């Protein structure tokens, strides 16, 4: 294999392939996709967002179902792989604390925490904690703030950083006018956050993982050359046999063109990138306003002011009801043209990297 495709460590865990599968909720990246990526040497990630909706027959409240759902998905993943499995937990979730505690208690290998600054994440570590903590950031300033706070209050530094640029799918940590601004491009962000990590190298190695719009081996090679240790990729793994979403959801990726990808305003209070469709058009016309809120899933969401219920929309889409939901997608998600296995996707990325190497 190409020297550029070398393994790296997140704390105690060696990731054989420098590819992290991005966490995608609600019900898009669960144990099926995560274990398949882990079996190929990458790091598979289960999304905790809305996971309680996937277990409607369980007793208890929605929040109790979320705890059970995360336990179950981690258990299923462990049955399918001996590889490295992480959990993506949005800081904006109202049950962020419960999900973090559950992930640590269930011995998830890594927690990825974004959609807000996880300033207190190390406070959940237990005496026997084997879970590595990785914040998702969109600026060097955020990375520095997290390092300072964690070191000062918890004597702990991040085990890695994911730096997510403005070409990512889903919620974006940028203002609308920054998304197309070259100053905020991932190519600028990665070296800046690598520089922050470098200042702590004598205390702890903090690898930087590039994310957002990465869709080819050549893309991976470019960011490794800029100092990243790995790339996080989400959209490329949706049109795969192992992805946990429905066939209808996957077909949106196959049938769409570049012009179908747009920036929307999410009820979470952040811009997001998604495929356009009937549901999003109905939202624009005010036809999807929620009457009540059964979940209270997002800290920043007020259903009386929200144009729609995001957790229901994402759940409906993942289950295949595209009339009542939509698909988040990265800037290059339209490039998909067929359903493949995770192994085929990763083999193609490895092959791309081999051919990209002479140009490095």
Domain boundaries, the chain: 8-246+336-359, 247-324
CA distances from 57 to 61, 99, 295, 337 (A): 11, 20, 16, 36
pLDDT tens track for 117-127 = 999 999 999 99
Kindly give the interhelix angle for 62-80 and 96-105, rounded to the nearest 10 degrees.
30
User: Can you tell me the mean pLDDT for 169-183?
Assistant: 90
Reply yes or no on whether the pLDDT at 360 is more than 50. Answer: no
Burial of 303 (0-12, 13-18, 19+ CB in 10 A): middle
The dihedrals phi and psi of 286, each to the nearest 5 degrees, come to 75, 25
When pLDDT is cut at 50, 70 and 90, the band that residue 294 belongs to is low
- 8-246+336-359 folds as TIM Barrel (3.20.20)
- Over the chain, what is the mean pLDDT? 92
CA distance 128 to 331: 40
CA distance 182 to 228: 19
pLDDT tens track for 9-46 = 999 999 999 999 999 999 999 999 999 999 999 999 99
At 330, list the tokens. Answer: 């990265």
- C-alpha angle 333-335-341 in degrees, rounded to nearest 5: 85
pLDDT at 4: 59
The percent of residues in the chain predicted with pLDDT above 70, rounded, is 94
Closest-CA residue to 360 (of 221, 231, 227): 221
Reply yes or no on whether the pLDDT at 303 is more than 90. Answer: no
pLDDT at 358: 45
Give 310 or 331, the one with higher predicted confidence: 331
Place of tokens 């390092």: 147
Reply yes or no on whether the pLDDT at 259 is more than 70. Answer: yes
pLDDT at 317: 95
CA distance 329 to 167: 9
CA distance 271 to 251: 24
CA distance 67 to 48: 9
CA distance 96 to 299: 9
């Amino acid at each position: 294999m190409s020297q550029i495709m070398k393994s790296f460590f997140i704390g105690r865990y060696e990731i054989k392939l420098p590819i992290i599968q991005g966490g995608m909720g609600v019900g898009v990246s669960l144990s099926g996709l995560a274990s398949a990526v882990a079996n190929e040497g990458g790091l598979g990630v289960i999304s905790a967002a809305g996971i309680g909706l996937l277990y409607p027959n369980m007793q208890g409240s929605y929040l109790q179902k979320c705890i059970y759902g995360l336990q179950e998905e981690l258990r299923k993943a462990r049955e399918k792989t001996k590889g490295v499995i992480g959990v993506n937990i949005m800081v904006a979730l109202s049950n962020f604390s419960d999900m973090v505690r559950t992930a640590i208690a269930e011995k998830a290998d890594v927690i990825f925490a974004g959609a807000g600054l996880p300033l207190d994440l190390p406070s959940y570590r237990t005496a026997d904690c084997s879970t590595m903590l990785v914040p998702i950031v969109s600026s060097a300033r955020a990375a520095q703030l997290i390092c300072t706070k964690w070191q000062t209050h918890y004597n702990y530094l991040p085990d890695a950083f994911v730096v997510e640029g403005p070409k990512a799918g889903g919620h974006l940590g940028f203002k609308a006018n920054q998304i197309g601004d070259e100053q905020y491009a991932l190519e600028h962000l990665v070296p800046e956050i690598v520089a922050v990590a470098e200042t702590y190298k004598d205390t702890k190695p903090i690898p930087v993982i590039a994310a957002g719009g990465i869709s080819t081996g050549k893309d991976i090679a470019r960011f490794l050359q800029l100092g990243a240790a790995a790339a996080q990729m989400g959209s490329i793994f949706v049109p795969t046999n192992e992805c946990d979403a429905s066939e209808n959801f996957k077909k949106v990726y196959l049938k769409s063109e570049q012009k179908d990808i747009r920036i929307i305003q999410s009820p979470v209070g952040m811009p997001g990138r998604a495929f356009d469709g009937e549901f999003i058009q109905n939202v624009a016309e005010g036809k999807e306003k929620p009457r009540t809120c059964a979940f209270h899933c997002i800290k920043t969401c007020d259903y009386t002011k929200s144009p729609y219920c995001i957790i229901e929309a994402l759940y409906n889409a993942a289950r295949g009801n595209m009339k009542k939901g939509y698909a988040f997608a990265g800037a290059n998600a339209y490039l998909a043209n067929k359903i493949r296995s995770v192994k085929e996707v990763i083999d193609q990325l490895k092959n791309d990297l081999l051919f990209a190497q002479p140009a490095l």
